[in-house]
Chains A and B, each alone.
Chain A
Amino acid sequence: MAKVKLAESKINKIKEICTSFGNKPGEAINVLHKVQGEFGYLPAEVQEVIAQELNVSVAQIYGIVTFYSYFTMTPKGEYPISVCMGTACYVRGAEKVLDEFKRELKIGVGETTSDGKFSLNCLRCVGACGLAPVVLIGEKVYGRLTPDGVKDILNEYRS
C-alpha cells in the first residue's frame, strides 16, 4: 500500500474546496484553480486528494494540470518574478533581461531557486507597454529594465 502524506489542515482545505464545487468531476478545472490559489502550486499529493474527492483518476487530474500552462507543480518562490514577453516588451529587449535573470539566479523559466526565494516566469502584457520592458516581482512593477539593472533589483530582495 502506497502512502500519500499531507497535513490535516491542507486535506481539509482541499476537501472544502471540492465540496464547494459539489465534488463534480466537471468542475476539476475550477477546483484546481482555487486550490492553486490557496497553496501557490499543485504538488502530486494535492492532486491525489482532489482526484479522490472528485472521483476521477489522478492520471486525468494530472492531464489537466499539465495541459494548462496556468497550473504549476513547482512551488513559486517567496518573490515570484514575471518577465513580460508581450510584443512591446519583447522588441525593447525583454529576452535579454530574462536571460540575465536566468544567469543571475541559475534557474530556468518555470523554476524556483533552491533556497525558495525566487521563481521565474514569463507572461504576456501587463498593460504597461509604455514602460517596456516590464518585470513584475510579486505585485511590484519594474519598468524600462536593462540587463545591467537586474542584479541591483535582485539585491533589494536578497538582503
Chain B
Amino acid sequence: MINITIDNKPLQAEKGQTVLKAARAAGIDIPTLCYYELDGVNFENRPGGCRVCVVEIEGRRNLAPACATEVMEGMVIHTCSLRVVNARRTVVEMILSDHPADCLICPKNGKCELQSLAQRLGVREIPYQGEQSTYRKDLSPAIIRDVDKCVMCRRCETVCNVWQTVGALSAVNRGFQAVVAPAFEQDLEKSPCTMCGQCVQACPVGALSEVDQTRQVITAISDPKKTVVVQTAPSVRVALGEEFGMEPGTIVTGQMAAALRRMGFDYVFDTDFAADLTIMEEGTELLSRIDKFTKGDKNVKLPILTSCCPGWVNFFEVNYPDMLDVPSTAKSPQQMFGAVAKNYLTNKLGIKREDMVVVSIMPCVAKKFECARDEFAENGNPDVDYALTTRELAELIRQFNIDFKSLPIEDFDNPLGESTGAGVIFGSTGGVIEAATRTAYELFTGKKLEKVDFSELRGLEGVRSATVDFNGTPIKIGIAHGLANARQLLDEVRKGNSGFHAIEVMACPGGCIGGAGQPFHHGNFDIIRKRQEAIYREDEGKPIRKSHENPYIQSLYKEWLGEPCGELSHHLLHTHYFDKSKHIEIAE
C-alpha cells in the first residue's frame, strides 16, 4: 500500500491505482466525463482527453488528469482547489461552446452527464462563442447518430472496438472536423454495426440514441380498429423500477403489467412465455443434433449456438458467414411471440392480421432492427410492429400520467402470459442455456431433474464453460457475453476444436440485464449485478421452473403446433441467416 493525501485527508492506496480510483475508494467523487468503466467485466475507457477530472498535485507544475495518473508514495492531491475548480469549469465551458443548447428537446434531457456536470460546476454562461461543428444525422432502424452533440469522449469507439470487436466506429478526421464515425463516414447501417447499442448505453450525451417509437405506439393504442398486444421481455421487470426511483434490482413485474393495462393495451402478454417456447424448439434441436452426432452423422453441426440475441445474430452474419448453419434456427423469443400472436392469436380472436399490432418492450436496441427484418414479415406486415426499450416504456408511463409506484400488482393475460422460471432467466448471461439444460436433461434422460439450479452456468465471467452430466453423458457448455468474448469461442469453433455441445452468446455485459435499452447505468456495474440477482430471485419464486412444464405451452402444441421442430414450428418459429460479410472480389 501507498500513503497519499487527498484534500488534506491521509489515505492509503494500492500501488498502480489511479488517483481517480483511489479517491473514489475513499468516497471522494472527482467529476469525470470521458472516463467510463464497467468493473464487473474489466472494461475501461480512459483516453484522458476531456480533462474534466484534473486535480492539483503538489510539486507538479501542471494539473493532472486523475483518470490517467497513478498514485505515488507521499503524493499530495487537491481535488477542489481554486485552480482545479476554475480549470474544470473552463473545460466544461469550452466543451459547451461546441455543443447545441437544445437540452429541452434532447433525448438525453435529464439523463445527460454533460448537463449534470454543467449544473454541478455552476456553469451559467458560455463565454466562448463562435462557429460550431455540424454534421449530418445518421438514421438507422435502431440507432440515431447526432454527431453535433458528440463530445469526443470516445466511449462508443472503445465499446465498439474493444468490448464488442465490431469495429463499426472510429474517430476520423482531425481538429474541429473530428467525429466518431463508421469507415468512409457511411451510415451505420452500411457498416459492420450489429445494432447492439452498447454505444448508446455508453454515450454520456445525446449523440447516440435509440429510434423513438413511442408516438407510433400511442397512435396504435388510440385506434379503435386495432387490437394492440404487448409483450415484455424477461429483464425489463428487474430494471424498469429504476426509472421511477426504485432501488436497482426491484422486481416490478406486477406493476408493469398494471401500467400497460392502464395505458390501453388490449392484451398484456409476456415474452417469457415465448422464451419457454424457444426452449422447446431450441432444446429439441439441440437434442436432435446430439442424437444424430452420436449416431455418426458427419454433417451435423455441434456446438449449437443460441440465437435469441439480435446483436449476436447480426455479428455472426457479418463475421462468420462460413458458419451460418451452426447457430440454432430457432427465432428469438420476441419473434416467436410475434409469429404466435399474428398467426394463432388472430385466429383465436377472429381478427385479421392487419388489425393486430404487436408491441414488444425490450431491454434492447437491436430488437428494433430485428423486428424490421424482411423475413419476419408477411406481405409487408411485420410479426412484431414496434420494439420499445425499457426507457421508452418508462417515458410512456410518465406521458400517461401513471403513478407507477402506487400501482397494484396485476397478472399478465392468458394464453400468452404464463411463463416459468426458465423463461425469466433468459434475461441474464447463462440463463438461456440453463433454461435449455433444465428441459433438455429431462427429455434426454427421461428422468426428473432434482436440482433445477445450475450454479456452474451462472456468473459474470466473460467466458465460462461447464460440463453437465446428462445421466452419464457429459454435455459441455460454453457461455460468452460481450462479442469480443463470443469471438474467442467462435474462433475455436471455426477451427473445429472447441469440444462444446452448446454455446450461449449474449452481446451485452451481463446479458439483457445490461442491455442497451435498459435504464442508463452510467458505468455503475453494481446496478447490473443487482438486476442479475433479481432475475434469479424471480426464477426461484416461480411455481414452475421448467419450460416444458408450462401448461399453456403444452396446450399450444396440443391445440395448434403439433410437436417441437414439427412442420408448423419449422415454418413459423424457425428462421435462416444471411451472409452479410464484405467480400473482396477480384475485378475482371
CB contact under 8 A between A57 and B586, given known A66-B173, A67-B174: no
CB contact under 8 A between A58 and B183, given known A1-B580, A63-B172: yes
Number of A-B contacts (CB under 8 A): 81
The reply to whether A7 and B586 form a contact with Cβ atoms under 8 Å apart is yes
CB-defined contacts of A153 to chain B, threshold 8 Å: none
Give Cα A4–Cα B191 distance, bound, in whole angstroms.
Answer: 14
A74 at the interface (CB under 8 A from B): no
In-complex Cβ contact of A60 among B167, B173, B184, B583 (8 A)? B167
Give Cα A3–Cα B586 distance, bound, in whole angstroms.
Answer: 10
In-complex Cβ contact of B183 among A5, A8, A47, A67 (8 A)? A47
The reply to whether A1 and B321 form a contact with Cβ atoms under 8 Å apart is yes
Query: Quick one: which of A47, A57, A59, A62 has the most chain B CB within 10 A?
Result: A59
In-complex Cβ contact of B582 among A2, A6, A61 (8 A)? A2
In-complex Cβ contact of A57 among B168, B173, B185, B587 (8 A)? B168
B170 at the interface (CB under 8 A from A): yes
The reply to whether A8 and B586 form a contact with Cβ atoms under 8 Å apart is yes
Give Cα A20–Cα B257 distance, bound, in whole angstroms.
Answer: 62
How far in angstroms is the closest Cβ of chain A from B189?
12
B86 at the interface (CB under 8 A from A): no
B125 at the interface (CB under 8 A from A): no
A52 at the interface (CB under 8 A from B): yes
B1 at the interface (CB under 8 A from A): no
The reply to whether A62 and B184 form a contact with Cβ atoms under 8 Å apart is yes
Within 8 A of B (CB), among A1-45: 1-8, 11, 44-45
The reply to whether B167 and A56 form a contact with Cβ atoms under 8 Å apart is yes
A78 at the interface (CB under 8 A from B): no
How far in angstroms is the closest Cβ of chain B from A72?
13
The reply to whether B581 and A57 form a contact with Cβ atoms under 8 Å apart is no
A100 at the interface (CB under 8 A from B): no
The reply to whether B583 and A4 form a contact with Cβ atoms under 8 Å apart is yes
CB-defined contacts of A47 to chain B, threshold 8 Å: 183
CB-defined contacts of B218 to chain A, threshold 8 Å: none
A95 at the interface (CB under 8 A from B): no
The reply to whether A6 and B584 form a contact with Cβ atoms under 8 Å apart is yes
CB-defined contacts of B5 to chain A, threshold 8 Å: none
CB-defined contacts of A8 to chain B, threshold 8 Å: 586-587
In-complex Cβ contact of A48 among B169, B191, B584 (8 A)? B584
Question: Interface size bucket, A side?
Answer: 20 to 34
A49 at the interface (CB under 8 A from B): yes
How far in angstroms is the closest Cβ of chain B from A46?
10
Within 8 A of A (CB), among B119-167: 161, 166-167
In-complex Cβ contact of B584 among A11, A60, A63, A67 (8 A)? A11
In-complex Cβ contact of B167 among A1, A7, A59 (8 A)? A59
B249 at the interface (CB under 8 A from A): no
How far in angstroms is the closest Cβ of chain B from A83?
22
Within 8 A of A (CB), among B540-588: 578-587
CB contact under 8 A between A3 and B583, given known A47-B183, A56-B167: yes
The reply to whether B183 and A59 form a contact with Cβ atoms under 8 Å apart is yes
CB contact under 8 A between A66 and B587, given known A1-B579, A1-B580: no
Query: Quick one: which of A6, A48, A60, A61 has the most chain B CB within 10 A?
Result: A60
B192 at the interface (CB under 8 A from A): yes
In-complex Cβ contact of A63 among B168, B170, B191, B579 (8 A)? B170
Listed from nearest, the 6 A-B pairs whose CB atoms lie closest are A57-B167, A59-B170, A63-B170, A5-B587, A59-B183, A58-B183
Given known contacts A1-B580, A59-B183, what 9 new A-B pairs fall within 8 Å (CB)? Answer: A3-B582, A3-B583, A3-B585, A11-B586, A57-B170, A57-B183, A62-B185, A63-B170, A67-B174
